Amino acid sequence: MEVKLNHISKKLKSTVILDQINLEFRSGVIYGIHGRNGSGKTMLLRMIAGLIHPSEGEVVIDGKVLHKDIDFPQSVGVMIETPDFWKNYTGKKVLLTLASIKKVIGIKEIEEVLVRVGLDPKDRRSIRKYSLGMRQRLGIAQAIMEHPDLLLLDEPTNALDKSGVFMAEKIFREEAERGAIVIIASHNMQDLEMCDCLIEMDAGKIYSMEGI
């Protein structure tokens, strides 16, 4: 897979949120987007996910222009901002419900991904009884469960303890080795130490890009 951002800008009224972004992402690489809160990181992920339209420029995914040739990336896993699920559901039921949309995975894969993120598939507690860390783990599970070609993660290690951070980093590396494009946005540089390529962002602009 290849994702290209060509001269992307986004304005909300008179405020410039993204300013002439030109980037290319390719399969098998973990990209880190670093910047303070309000720098435009989350808006950039939303743009790539097809959740917002650019004011200028275009997002091209495998040669297809987003919002012109396709409405959304065809194979994408997204975790943007704090995960929010149906609070009266169990974690397993949440994933089963989400999986019913595309119908590409079943209960076996869902149980496997819960174990992979450190959650118990047999846990009958509702989401309202989950800790913040457990909800974050479930958020990662829903993003990766369908083996997407493109993985967009906003502050994915937020609320995770040390073992949870290690688990998340291991999963993200495995996803890249599988061939996915992994894009992680964070204000914390420690969250991005695993990345093959680091992009520095501020005030809606790209200031530097180091690595691959």
Both 68 and 85 in one domain: the answer is no
Both 62 and 5 in one domain: the answer is yes
Tens of pLDDT along 70-112?
A: 999 999 999 998 778 999 999 999 999 999 999 999 999 999 9
Both 142 and 83 in one domain: the answer is yes
Both 69 and 82 in one domain: the answer is no
Tens of pLDDT along 21-70?
A: 999 999 999 999 999 999 999 999 999 999 999 999 999 999 999 999 99
For residue 128, the enclosing domain spans 77-147
- What pLDDT score was predicted for residue 212? 67
Both 61 and 2 in one domain: the answer is yes
Single out the residue of 103, 101, 99, 133 nearest to residue 119, CA to CA.
133
- Residue 171, in any domain of the structure: no
* For residue 191, pLDDT beyond 90: no
- Residue 158, in any domain of the structure: no
- What pLDDT score was predicted for residue 17? 94
- What pLDDT score was predicted for residue 211? 83
- What pLDDT score was predicted for residue 154? 95
Domain CATH code at residue 20? 3.40.50.300
Both 66 and 4 in one domain: the answer is yes
* For residue 155, pLDDT beyond 80: yes
Both 95 and 141 in one domain: the answer is yes
- pTM here is 0.96
- Residue 167, in any domain of the structure: no
- Residue 157, in any domain of the structure: no
Q: Which of 127, 147, 167 is the last residue of a domain?
A: 147
For residues 132-138, give the mean pLDDT: 95
- What pLDDT score was predicted for residue 48? 97
- What pLDDT score was predicted for residue 190? 86
- Residue 15, in any domain of the structure: yes
Both 140 and 190 in one domain: the answer is no
Both 52 and 98 in one domain: the answer is no
DSSP secondary structure of the chain: -EEEEEEEEEEETTEEEEEEEEEEEETT-EEEEE--TTSSHHHHHHHHHTSS--SEEEEEETTEEBTTTBSS-SSEEEE-SS----TTS-HHHHHHHHHHHH----HHHHHHHHHHTT--TT----GGG--HHHHHHHHHHHHHTT--SEEEEESTTTT--HHHHHHHHHHHHHHHHHT-EEEEEES-GGGGTT-SEEEEEETTEEEEEEE-
CA distances from 193 to 56, 159, 186 (A): 32, 18, 11
Tens of pLDDT along 193-206?
A: 999 999 999 999 99
- Residue 163, in any domain of the structure: no
Both 4 and 24 in one domain: the answer is yes
In the chain, the number of structural domains is 2
Burial class (CB in 10 A: 0-12, 13-18, 19+), 118: middle
Both 94 and 131 in one domain: the answer is yes
Dihedral of CA 190/188/172/199: which sign? Answer: negative
Both 9 and 65 in one domain: the answer is yes
* For residue 177, pLDDT beyond 80: yes
